[in-house]
Amino acid sequence: MKDDVSRRYGIADTMALRPLLRRIFRYFAVALVVIFAGMLALGWKSFGSRGDSAARARMAESPEWVDGHFENPQPLKNDMLGALAALFSASKWVAPAAPVPVVNPTPEDFKIPPDSGLRVTWLGHSTTLVEIESFRILTDPVFSQRVSPFSFMGPKRWYPPLIPLHHLPPIDVVVISHDHYDHLDMHTVIALDEAQKPLFVVPIGVGSHLQYWGIPQSRITELDWWQEKTLEREGKKLRVAMTPARHASGRYLVDNNKKLWAGYALIGKQRRVYYSGDTGLFPAMKAIGTKYGPFDLTMIEVGQYHRTWPDWHIGPEQAVKAHQWVRGRVMLPVHWGLFVLAMHAWTEPVERAAKEANRLQVQMVTPRPGEIFEPSRFVSQRWWPQNEWQSAAEHPIVSTQVEP
């Protein structure tokens, strides 16, 4: 009777299959482990370093270090479920449908210093070459094909580097805002070190990554918020001041916020530039303006945002507000125009920022990627296409814990 029931419902067949299913499961588990181990091996060096005991001790002394990690005075708020749902409603214009109009500078373009004492070349996203009173500063240089620990996957740039690394003019200092892959690129850092041996100024903890990649400690300066490094050459000085930002850090899943993040004020005798780094809106921007402003140029991020994580990235309208809070004269929108890192149309950040700047009578410049300009003399022309995009009313970005 028992055998008849087993045959009727196929129980005997299922029992016979169990050894086979167990083998398949084991093979599948082993394959997953091998794939995971391979990914770890491929990305291991790019992941960077947590730092030695001395480095970790320095981090722990920072006023921003709280309970084993760095923390913002206004902690980041997130709607995780909303963010996941948003992945299924990306704009059809999230990436360019045609080649982006760019300019390719040549070494000759940098031989004559700027008459105004300030000249800037935006190289896409947050990479800029700032020439200020005979000093040259490179911000968050990314020249690799992808912003990822892997060469075969991750966000891919829309156009090649606009000037080869070996054609760059002499760089005095490279400033890094934080250790996310779209701002700290291992291959670019190593190539710059080999080609030019510049000084690297980085937030506390980030120097451990650079040392792990072979940059000598003697050419790494780690700073905390409100600290400064002064460069001197031929009787001229440039102050590189690290300013607060409202963001996060991390290069792999278990190192979140183990390194500091920041913005910068570049202060010469006559000219001043502010770079926001990645940031949400935060009250201390007013203190930055009071202490280091007014700025001839602000370079403030405007792109790669979503309303479900409004504290991570400031958004276009709040970027214009930040420009006013830090007491800027001319605003250059950055952190857009090179990678897909959010779901909005790729032209939306500049459209919305330009509309808000016009409303508030803020002077905003919009050079093409690679176009060299002097902020006090540049006349912007529209170069991006007309695409559909969402307005501030349709998709508001409002950072939390900030008074209007």
What's the domain range around 357?
80-373
- Element holding 231 (H helix, E strand): strand 228-233
Q: What is the pLDDT of residue 404?
A: 76
In a domain, 57, yes or no: no
CA-closest candidate to residue 277, choices 302, 309, 310: 302
Same domain (yes/no): 15, 90: no
Q: What is the pLDDT of residue 21?
A: 62
How do beta strands 228-233 and 220-223 pair? unpaired
Region 209-223 average pLDDT: 98
Within 13 Å of residue 36, how many CA atoms lie on the same side as its CB? 6
Same domain (yes/no): 116, 198: yes
Structure tokens at 10: 């196929």
Distance, C-alpha 32 to centroid of its chain: 31
d(CA 139, CA 128) in angstroms, rounded, equals: 5
E strand spans, 302-373:
328-334, 363-364, 372-373
d(CA 173, CA 177) in angstroms, rounded, equals: 13
Region 101-109 average pLDDT: 97
In a domain, 17, yes or no: yes
In a domain, 380, yes or no: no
Same domain (yes/no): 186, 237: yes
d(CA 286, CA 292) in angstroms, rounded, equals: 10
Structure tokens at 217: 């400690």
Same domain (yes/no): 176, 36: no
In a domain, 338, yes or no: yes
> What is the pTM assigned to this prediction?
0.91
C-beta neighbour count of 199 within 10 angstroms: 17
d(CA 250, CA 143) in angstroms, rounded, equals: 20
In a domain, 378, yes or no: no
Region 154-175 average pLDDT: 97
Domain count, the chain: 2
Same domain (yes/no): 244, 328: yes
Same domain (yes/no): 20, 131: no
Over residues 322-334, the pLDDT tens digits come to 999 999 999 999 9
Same domain (yes/no): 19, 110: no
Same domain (yes/no): 136, 20: no
In a domain, 362, yes or no: yes
Over residues 115-149, the pLDDT tens digits come to 999 999 999 999 999 999 999 999 999 999 999 99
In a domain, 61, yes or no: no
Same domain (yes/no): 34, 97: no
Same domain (yes/no): 13, 137: no
In a domain, 66, yes or no: no
Burial 58-79 (b: 16+ CB within 10 A, else e): bbeeeebbeeebbebebebeee
> What CATH number is given to the structural domain containing 217?
3.60.15.10
Same domain (yes/no): 312, 231: yes
**Residue 284 carries which DSSP code?**
T
Place 291 in a pLDDT band, splitting at 50, 70 and 90.
very high
Same domain (yes/no): 124, 35: no
**Order of strands, edge to edge, in the sheet holding 272-275?**
228-233, 236-243, 263-267, 272-275, 295-301, 328-334, 363-364
